[in-house]
């Protein structure tokens, strides 16, 4: 049997946001590999083998998926959202195996849609986790993103092991003159725990974010109309 590795994103949470292409790959799979909370979202069926692993095991997970594919299995390695957005790490032995990558709906886009169109103009995404990059890099990117007047999507804003980074990020943005910018806290978007809060950056508190939150900071021209937030394309 010829093995294959499919790298796929399951979207932000709601099964309706798993793309038909990813659903088809899951239907044809013999094995699904991924972080345990993501595997819970994979429809179970007889004969399908699930290989769950822990957080921060990205390289081991990729290695396991490649090994199974090399043995001739049809493997799907799953992430949340889109696999290319702050999700997976590659293992070096990939060259000899048939691999495809399927896009998914990112948390950033799902959160933006709930609020309106806050990413409708130029924007960037910053991962606030300093597990794999120094905090100095994050700080520099925040400052420059503020100076360039990008809307900013912040991933991984705050966790139990990183309780202070988001407070520092808010301070950096206030110091950069962004106090009046609109901030959207999009928590657990498309799941039963979804909660959206929109405030000015000056009103934003660190405890409004956790690991299930995607934070969007508007640019200087971002407008609020009732509950909707949008970034005009002609401005800034
Ligand atoms: C490891 S990253 C995965 C990102 C994913 N690959 C994507 O494309 O959206 C995990 C972070 O994504 C964000 N996230 C993932 N799912 C989310 C959801 N349903 N609602 C809000 N934020 C979410 C949170 O910031 C979380 O800390």
Q: For residue range 12-21, what is the model confidence (pLDDT) as tens digits?
A: 999 999 999 9
Q: Pick the residue whose CA is nearest to atom 3 on ligand 1.
A: 87
Could you read off the pLDDT of 49-63 as tens digits, one per residue? 999 998 878 888 888
CB of residue 11 inside a 6 A radius of ligand 1: no
Q: What is the pLDDT of residue 193?
A: 97
For residues 26-39, average pLDDT: 96
Q: What is the pLDDT of residue 88?
A: 74
| Entry pTM | 0.94
CB of residue 78 inside a 6 A radius of ligand 1: no
CB of residue 87 inside a 6 A radius of ligand 1: yes
Instruction: Reply yes or no on whether the pLDDT at 122 is more than 80.
Output: yes
Rounded to whole angstroms, what are the CA distances from 67 to 50, 96, 97, 197? 14, 11, 9, 44
For residues 76-84, average pLDDT: 95
Instruction: Write out the H or E segment, with its range, that includes residue 143.
Output: helix 135-147
Instruction: Reply yes or no on whether the pLDDT at 1 is more than 60.
Output: no
Instruction: Reply yes or no on whether the pLDDT at 115 is more than 70.
Output: yes
CB of residue 85 inside a 6 A radius of ligand 1: yes
**Do residues 14 and 189 touch, judged by C-beta distance below 8 A?**
no
**SS3 of 53, please?**
strand
Q: Pick the residue whose CA is nearest to atom 26 on ligand 1.
A: 156
CB of residue 185 inside a 6 A radius of ligand 1: no
CB of residue 88 inside a 6 A radius of ligand 1: no
Q: Pick the residue whose CA is nearest to atom 10 on ligand 1.
A: 156
Q: What is the pLDDT of residue 34?
A: 95
CB of residue 111 inside a 6 A radius of ligand 1: yes
Q: Pick the residue whose CA is nearest to atom 1 on ligand 1.
A: 87
Could you read off the pLDDT of 185-217 as tens digits, one per residue? 999 999 999 999 999 999 999 999 999 999 999
Dist CA 202 CA 183 (whole Å): 9
């Amino acid at each position: 049997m010829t093995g294959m590795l499919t790298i796929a994103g399951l979207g932000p949470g709601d099964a309706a946001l798993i793309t038909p292409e990813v659903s088809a790959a899951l239907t044809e799979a013999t094995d699904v590999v991924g972080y345990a909370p993501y595997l819970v979202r994979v429809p179970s069926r007889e004969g399908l083998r699930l290989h769950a692993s822990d957080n921060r095991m990205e390289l081991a997970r990729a290695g396991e998926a490649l090994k199974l594919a090399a043995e001739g299995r049809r493997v799907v390695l799953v992430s949340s959202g889109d696999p290319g957005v702050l999700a997976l790490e590659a293992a070096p032995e990939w060259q000899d195996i048939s691999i495809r990558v399927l896009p998914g709906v990112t948390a950033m886009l799902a959160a933006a849609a709930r609020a309106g169109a806050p990413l409708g103009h130029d924007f960037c995404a910053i991962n606030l986790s300093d597990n794999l990059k120094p905090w100095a890099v994050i700080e520099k990117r925040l400052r420059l993103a503020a100076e360039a007047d990008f809307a900013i999507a912040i991933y991984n804003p705050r966790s139990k092991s990183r309780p202070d980074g988001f407070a520092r990020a808010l301070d950096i943005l206030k110091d950069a003159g962004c106090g009046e910018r609109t901030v959207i806290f999009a928590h657990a978007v498309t799941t039963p725990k979804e909660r959206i809060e929109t405030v000015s950056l000056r009103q934003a508190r660190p405890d409004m974010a956790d690991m299930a939150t995607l934070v969007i900071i508007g640019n200087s021209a971002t407008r609020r109309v009732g509950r909707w937030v949008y970034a005009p394309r002609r401005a800034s």
